[in-house]
Amino acid sequence: MATKRGRDEGLWNFGQISLGKTLIVCSMFETMDLVKASLEAGKGLLRPPTEGAGPPAESRTAPVLVPIRSLGVNHKDRIARHLLALDPHDRYLRFGFSASDEQIQRYVDSLNFERDEIFGIYNRRLELIAMAHLASSVDPNLAACAEFGVSVLKSARGRGYGARLFDRAVMHARNQGVSRFFIYALSENTAMLRIASKAGATVERDGSESEAHLNLQPATLDTHLSEMVAEQMAQSDYRIKVQVKQFWDFLAEVQAIRRNIQDAQRRPPK
């Protein structure tokens, strides 16, 4: 039924591909859901970024599509800003110790964007509200292992961003041939351990520290396609946010100039 609808609408013509057709058709419909969700999410971009101090109550749940993009070295400043905004307790949960500003800066400076993968979620003001670091093992005996670390700004928590970043990192890891996925967290970190155990990870507690590990399935055509589509969408979403922000910044400048002129006109001549 689903297959027929896709073919009739001619949305994605994969009909000629004989290998793994079912998988492709599944991806096709997930992709269409992503497109619809993306358009839906795009509506919010037209609201001025200064409107309201925070998001309205109904938007505190994550949209169907969370645009998670891969971050390159040119995002370093925003990564630093994101991590420096974490309070001491969150830094303790994230790094296992109360990292100082200098230690955070050193961590950011040492990020290896070639070897590792950094994912991020931007809001429409282009603030990095959530990020994850998928670090590949540097030990040649553990080449197929990776470690996951994540942080979400307090104002954006409880919307599923942490879990979505986890899923995104797992998908990427599978596509990179990683078979063991590790998460180190403090045992008190209920939210992180919940994300890991819900994804099927085995959690081993050792006093105040816990290690969670997940054995990953090999990549499939579906995981490759899904990652490709997710990344493309996130890049487009980011570009749109940049343009919309430029538009609102421009409008704010025009309004400021207008206000200055009006003030000058209202002032009595000396």
Ligand X SMILES: CC(C)(COP(=O)(O)OP(=O)(O)OC[C@H]1O[C@@H](n2cnc3c(N)ncnc32)[C@H](O)[C@@H]1OP(=O)(O)O)[C@@H](O)C(=O)NCCC(=O)NCCS
147 phi, psi to nearest 5 deg: -115, 140
**Residue with smaller CB distance to ligand X, 6 or 149:** 149
Position closest to ligand X via CB: 162
Beta strands 180-186 and 209-215 are antiparallel
The nearer residue to ligand X, 105 or 197, going by C-beta atoms, is 197
CB of 91 to ligand X, least distance (A): 8
10 Å Cβ neighbour count for 31?
Answer: 21
Which amino acid, one-letter code, is at 142? L
User: In the set 20, 55, 63, 160, which binds ligand X (CB under 6 A)?
Assistant: 160
Binding mask 61-80 toward ligand X (x if CB under 6 A, else -) reads --------------------
CA-CA distance, 145 to 161, in Å (whole number)? 23
| Residue 10 backbone zone (phi > 0: left; psi -120 to 50: alpha; other: beta) | left
Give the pairing type, strands 117-122 and 180-186: unpaired
Should residue 90 be labelled a site residue for ligand X when binding is judged by CB under 6 A? yes
Question: What minimum distance in Å lies between the beta carbon of 235 and ligand X?
Answer: 22
Question: Residue from 70, 136, 189, 226 that binds ligand X (CB under 6 A)?
Answer: 189
Q: Return the bridge partners of 5, or none.
A: none
94 binds ligand X (CB under 6 A): yes
Question: Residues in the site for ligand X, rule: CB under 6 A?
Answer: 90, 93-94, 149-152, 157-163, 185, 189-192, 194-195, 198
